[in-house]
């Protein structure tokens, strides 16, 4: 929609065809970007995968609407073109009355829930006092705009971040981590790839994609961000509320609402929160010539710096291996990411292997560095071309050009473009279970800027 709006602004008439569930999000996007009158034509959902003759019949039914949209000038609206419009949250302050504190708390939550400002769980009321307390966790100016959050491109200021952190139940000292998370998901690196959709895509996709936050460096321990047993489980305030705060910011500053313009068909429970620390104290990071480097060091940051890495994450895949201390552990990783259920239709996507300490130590004791692991997984995550083609019949332009010229269907293709697409961290308690998280596009890492005081 935004691209079509850009074309209209250059003086070329457009019409957008979209499937019915996207109608509301399209109109909302047009309204949010100052061109409410942009014409759209709805067609039944879904289109992908239908026979061509069925699609042809559906388009036949609306072809006159398509041509009308290019012939007839849509309503221009009341605002003069070129006018800057600023829309502030209305009302800025909500007054809630109750018979008692518990009554008022219940009414605040009911109001926020009805306004779609929550994740469904109760929130901590963001009073001015609470927000001022949250702001003590950073020395950045409350009016500083950290990022514009799609889909509404609302200004995630330090103050707005603090409001949502209060709601999430975060502590003030978590603010720098949440701020860095906002910076990471809106960094251009997060939108690099064949499908360069970034945070906007994550907010509106039908796929169950949500940010995974990986915290590396000293701040993880300082803030008790769990990297050990149950690191993705309940019971850890920092993990729970840092991830939750980011989700509330995506909802409230980004204006993304499930079933309205966030079109995740099913979504997943990791949308509520998905945050973990890297277990840098594990011996694999310290032993021998092939000691593993922490993620942030691999990505160019000094070891003593703390960072947040954002991953546009698909639901995690369980890797189960009962102490077979050999590269066979990696065969299970390969099997998880190269089966027909999860084959990526762009090869530039990345993966994060979250190895539990048992698996990590087995591999390290077998002499494997992180690069050895990357190379092994890359080399073995392959599929016969004919299987891949059956999933994505061509010509499918998201494939690299070389793939479109394959003649011998028995050719084996790599499902990831490079060993560098794989990232590895250690997290969890000793056990037979690890996880692999596939990313929709590239990961992005941002430094956590702690207050100077």
Partner 1 sequence: MGNQRIKWEVLNPNAEREMVAGTPAPRLPTLSGKKIGLFANGKPGAEVVLDSVMRLLQGKFDNTRFEMFPLFLNVGEENIRKMAACDAVVAAIGD
What is the footprint of partner 1 within residues 36-65 (CB under 8 A)? 37-39, 43, 45-50, 52, 55-56, 58-60, 63
Instruction: Show contacts with partner 1 in window 124-163 (CB under 8 A).
Output: 125-128, 131, 149, 152-157, 160, 163
Q: Which is nearer to partner 1, 148 or 431 (CB)?
A: 148
Gap between the Cα atoms of 211 and 270, Å rounded: 9
Q: Considering the rule CB under 8 A, would residue 340 count as an interface residue with partner 1?
A: no
In whole angstroms, how close is the CB of 346 to partner 1 at the nearest point?
A: 9
Secondary structure letter of residue 287 according to DSSP: S
Q: Which is nearer to partner 1, 75 or 300 (CB)?
A: 75
Q: Residue 89: beta bridge partners? A: none
Query: Measuring CA to CA, which residue among 235, 241, 237, 239 is closest to residue 123?
Result: 241
Angle, CA 101 vertex, CA 97 and CA 104 arms, to 5°: 35
* Residues 78 to 107 in contact with partner 1, rule: CB under 8 A: 79-101, 103-104
The residue within the footprint of partner 1, chosen from 28, 173, 176, 197 (CB under 8 A), is: 197
Residues numbered 258-297 forming contacts with partner 1, rule: CB under 8 A? 263
Our CB check for partner 1 shows the closer of 3 and 408 to be 3
Q: Which of 398, 419, 429, 447 binds partner 1 (CB under 8 A)?
A: 398
Is 276 in contact with 232 (CB distance < 8 Å)? Answer: yes
Least distance to partner 1 from the beta carbon of 240, Å? Answer: 18
Site string for partner 1, 222-241 (x = CB under 8 A): --------------------
Count of positions on this chain that bind partner 1 (CB under 8 A):
113
- What is the rounded distance in angstroms from the CA atom of residue 9 to the CA atom of residue 272? 38
CA 259 to chain centre: 17
Alpha helices in 326-400 (DSSP H): 328-337, 357-365, 370-380, 385-391
8 binds partner 1 (CB under 8 A): yes
User: Which residue of 122, 170, 176, 198 would you call a contact of partner 1, by CB under 8 A?
Assistant: 198
Quick check: helix, strand or coil at residue 245?
helix
In the bound state with partner 1, the residue whose beta carbon lies nearer, of 77 and 451, is 77
Shortest CA distance to 444 belongs to which of 228, 271, 299? Answer: 299
Question: Binding string, 378-397, against partner 1, x = CB under 8 A?
Answer: --------------x---xx
- Interacting stretch for partner 1, rule CB under 8 A, among 199-207, 320-328, 406-414, 445-453? 199-207
Count CA atoms closer than 13 A to 182's CA, side-chain side: 37
> What distance in Å separates the CA atoms of residue 121 and residue 118, rounded to the nearest whole number?
7
Interface of this chain with partner 1, residues 354 to 383, rule: CB under 8 A: none
CA distance 119 to 242: 14
Contact 138, 175 (CB under 8 A): yes
Q: Does 248 participate in binding partner 1 (rule CB under 8 A)?
A: yes
Q: How far is CA 249 from CA 142, 146, 392, in A?
A: 15, 12, 35
d(C-alpha 310, C-alpha 448), whole Å: 12
**Other Cβ atoms within 10 Å of 385 Cβ, number:** 17
Closest CA to 429 of 286, 301, 276: 276
Smallest separation, CB 289 to partner 1 (Å): 43
Nearer to partner 1, 243 or 357 (CB): 243
Tell which one of 189, 195, 237, 293 touches partner 1 (CB under 8 A): 195
Q: Which is nearer to partner 1, 397 or 452 (CB)?
A: 397
Give which of 292, 346, 313 is closest to 444, Cα–Cα: 313
Residue whose CB is less far from partner 1, 229 or 387 = 387
Return the residues of window 164-183 that contact partner 1 according to CB under 8 A.
Answer: 164, 167
By the rule CB under 8 A, 192 interacts with partner 1:
no
Q: Write out the binding residues for partner 1, residues 402-441 only, by CB under 8 A.
A: none
């Amino acid at each position: 929609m935004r691209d079509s709006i850009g074309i209209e602004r250059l003086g070329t008439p457009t019409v957008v065809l979209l499937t019915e569930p996207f109608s509301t999000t399209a109109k909302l996007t047009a309204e949010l970007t100052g061109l409410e009158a942009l014409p759209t034509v709805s067609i039944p959902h879904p289109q992908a995968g239908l026979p061509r003759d069925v699609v042809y019949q559906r388009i036949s039914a609306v072809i006159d609407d398509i041509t009308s949209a290019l012939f007839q000038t849509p309503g221009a609206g009341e605002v003069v073109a070129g006018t800057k419009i600023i829309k502030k949250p209305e009302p800025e302050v909500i007054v809630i009355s109750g018979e008692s504190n518990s009554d008022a708390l219940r009414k605040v939550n009911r109001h926020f829930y009805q306004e779609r400002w929550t994740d469904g769980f109760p929130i901590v009321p963001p009073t001015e006092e609470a927000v001022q307390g949250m702001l003590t966790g950073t020395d950045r100016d409350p009016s500083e705009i950290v990022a514009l959050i799609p889909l509404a491109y609302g200004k995630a200021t330090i103050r707005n971040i603090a409001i949502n952190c209060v709601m999430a139940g975060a502590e003030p000292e978590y603010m720098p981590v949440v701020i860095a998370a906002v910076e990471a998901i809106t960094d251009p690196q997060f939108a690099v790839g064949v499908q360069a959709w970034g945070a906007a895509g994550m907010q509106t996709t039908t796929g169950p994609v949500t940010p995974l936050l990986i915290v590396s460096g000293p701040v993880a321990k300082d803030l008790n961000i769990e990297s050990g047993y149950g690191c993705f489980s309940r019971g850890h305030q920092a993990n729970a509320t840092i991830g939750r705060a980011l989700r509330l910011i995506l909802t409230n500053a980004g204006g993304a609402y499930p079933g309205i313009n966030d079109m995740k068909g099913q979504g997943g429970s990791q949308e509520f929160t998905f945050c973990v620390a890297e277990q840098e104290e594990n011996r694999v990071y310290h032993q021998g010539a092939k000691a593993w480097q922490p993620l942030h060091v691999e990505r160019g940051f000094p070891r003593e710096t703390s960072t947040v890495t954002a991953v546009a994450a698909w639901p995690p895949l369980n890797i189960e291996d009962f102490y077979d201390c050999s590269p066979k552990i990696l065969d299970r990783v390969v099997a998880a990411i190269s089966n027909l259920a999860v084959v990526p239709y762009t090869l530039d996507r990345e993966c994060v292997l979250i190895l539990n300490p048992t698996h990590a130590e087995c591999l390290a004791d077998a002499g494997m560095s992180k690069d050895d692991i990357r190379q092994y997984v890359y080399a073995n995550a392959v599929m016969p071309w004919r299987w891949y083609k059956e999933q994505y019949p061509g010509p499918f332009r998201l494939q690299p050009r070389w793939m479109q010229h394959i003649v011998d269907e028995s050719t084996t293709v790599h499902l990831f473009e490079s060993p560098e697409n794989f990232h590895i961290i250690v997290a969890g308690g000793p056990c037979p279970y690890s996880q692999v998280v596939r990313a929709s596009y590239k990961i992005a890492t941002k430094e956590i800027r702690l207050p100077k005081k």
